[in-house]
Amino acid sequence: MRSNEPADLNRLLLDTVSDIEPRSRIEAIRSRITPKESPMAITRTWILGTIGAAAATAAVITGVVVVSNNNSDSSSDADRDPAAPSATATDDPSSTDPSETSGTSTPPVTEDTLPVYWVGETARGLGLYREWTRVASADPLVGALTQALDEVPLDPDYRSGWPDAAGLAAASYDGTEVITIDLTGDIHDLPADMSEEQAQVALEQLIFTAQAVVGEGRKPVQFLLDGSHSDQVLGQPTSEPLANGPLFDTLSLVNLDSPAEGDVVTGDTLEVSGVANSFEANVIVKLQRYEGNAIVFQEGVTAEGWMEEKLFPFTGSFDISDVEPGQYLLSASTDDPSGGAEGFGADTDTKLITIE
């Protein structure tokens, strides 16, 4: 378990996707390229109640777009966490510098806190949630993408969108224009047990993760398969570099950053932070007993904005001096003045925490 720490606003740099216009993406791809379902983690619907009811009729994420020659995203530091600690992960005193024995040097393995995106349920269907993850690797980009493909998130409401057959051979950024992700495995065609929506959000998972780790704005991503260009991956067109999908079609519109799943909170104050895009910047934060219906508090906090296609940081500080020790479910939701009568309803992110 980790102890709770106050949120650092530097860690909450927002998911900016300025200058990206929502559009029908998969049709745009197929106009230029002729391309030839896995269960989600059980969500905590017994607590969320009617908040997630609209998800059953939600719209399908429309996939990724072929990038144009003008990639004008201004978010050069999107998703970066400059305050996160970084330490050498190899503390074995018997280890030696490979250059002493082989004549070549190998980048040192370091442990970094990196943004990794995972698939989860939103009010509109499948979408992506960001989780800050400790990753040990000689290359942060490779480490984060390997995490997204092969590991499991802390939050059981999230999962990887990729089949077990998928693997990572290499990943790199050319320093100016394109991120390259070289995948391996029998993933050229759409798997029989995967839907088009699941395949599209899987590609988005790696695109958003790679862009966040590189930290150079919304750079296009070129997918390779077994070291070569491929017309498709998971049955989705990948001949050309792909841009990320529009934020409102692709990401959950609320994402809790702190406390994280499984955190232990001590002291008299609960510090909450995350990012959201909610009606009039109002984010509903609720703390409820994990087993039972007792609600400790349900209050609104104000995010730093809402009138642009991006996620804005929000923070809240709550008195828990009278809260009994135990397990609690912390949730943050976008505001839905219609109560679900209009649109898709509210997006919600939850974290199971322990208060001591």
What's 3's DSSP letter? B
Fold annotation for 254-355: Immunoglobulin-like (2.60.40)
Q: Which two tokens stand for residue 279?
A: 């009606």
Distance between CA 311 and CA 127 in Å, rounded? 14
Residue that is written with structure tokens 């018997």 in the block:
94
The answer, yes or no, to whether residue 50 has pLDDT greater than 50, is no
Cβ–Cβ contacts within 10 Å for residue 350, how many? Answer: 20
The arithmetic mean of pLDDT across residues 101-122, rounded, is: 84
Whether 1 shows a pLDDT value over 70: the answer reads no
Predicted TM-score (pTM) of this structure: 0.75
Task: List, in sequence order, every beta strand (DSSP E) within 67-165.
Answer: 86-88, 110-122, 125-137
Query: What average pLDDT score do residues 122-126 get?
Result: 95
pLDDT of 187 reads 98
Please tell me the distance from the alpha carbon of residue 331 to that of residue 284, in angstroms, as a whole number: 8
Structure tokens at 159: 């999962």
Could you tell me which residues come within 8 angstroms of residue 334 by beta carbon, excluding any fewer than 6 positions away? 253, 254, 276, 277, 278, 279, 283, 284, 346, 347, 348
- Tell whether the model's pLDDT for residue 311 goes beyond 70: yes
Integer Cα distance of 77 and 39 in angstroms: 33
Buried b (16+ CB within 10 A) or exposed e, 292-307: eeeebeeeebebeebe
Q: Is the pLDDT of residue 72 over 50?
A: no
Domain extents for the chain?
9-67+78-85+107-250, 254-355
Instruction: Give me the residue label for tokens 């479910």.
Output: 329
* CA atoms of 168 and 181, how far apart (whole Å): 8
Q: How many CB atoms lie within 10 A of CB 317?
A: 12
- pLDDT of 315 > 80? The answer is yes
b/e for 100-130, b at 16 or more Cβ within 10 A?
eeeeeeeeeebbbebbbbbbbbbbbbbbbbb
**8 Å CB contact between 332 and 272:** yes
Q: Is 12 helix (H, G, I), strand (E, B) or coil?
A: helix
pLDDT of 84 strictly over 60: no
- Which residues, including other chains, have CB under 8 Å from residue 192's CB and lie 6 or more apart? none
Burial category of 167 from C-beta neighbours within 10 Å (exposed 0-12, middle 13-18, buried 19 and up): middle
Closest CA to 63 of 126, 142, 5: 126
Kindly calculate the radius of gyration of the chain based on its CA atoms and give it in whole angstroms: 21
Instruction: For residues 25-33, give the mean pLDDT.
Output: 37
Percentage above 70 pLDDT, the chain: 70
With 50 as the cut, is the pLDDT of residue 60 above it? no
Listed in sequence order, the DSSP H helices in 181-331 are 196-214, 247-250
pLDDT in tens, 130-168: 999 999 999 999 999 999 999 999 999 999 999 999 999
Supply 149's token pair: 């493909």
Q: Is residue 25's pLDDT more than 90? A: no
Instruction: For the chain, give the mean pLDDT.
Output: 79
pLDDT at 202 over 70: yes
Residue 113 pLDDT greater than 90, yes or no: yes
Of the candidates 299, 293, 236, the residue with the CA atom closest to the CA atom of residue 48:
293
Tokens of 90: 């190899």
Residue closest to 73 by CA, chosen among 181, 210, 216, 206 = 216
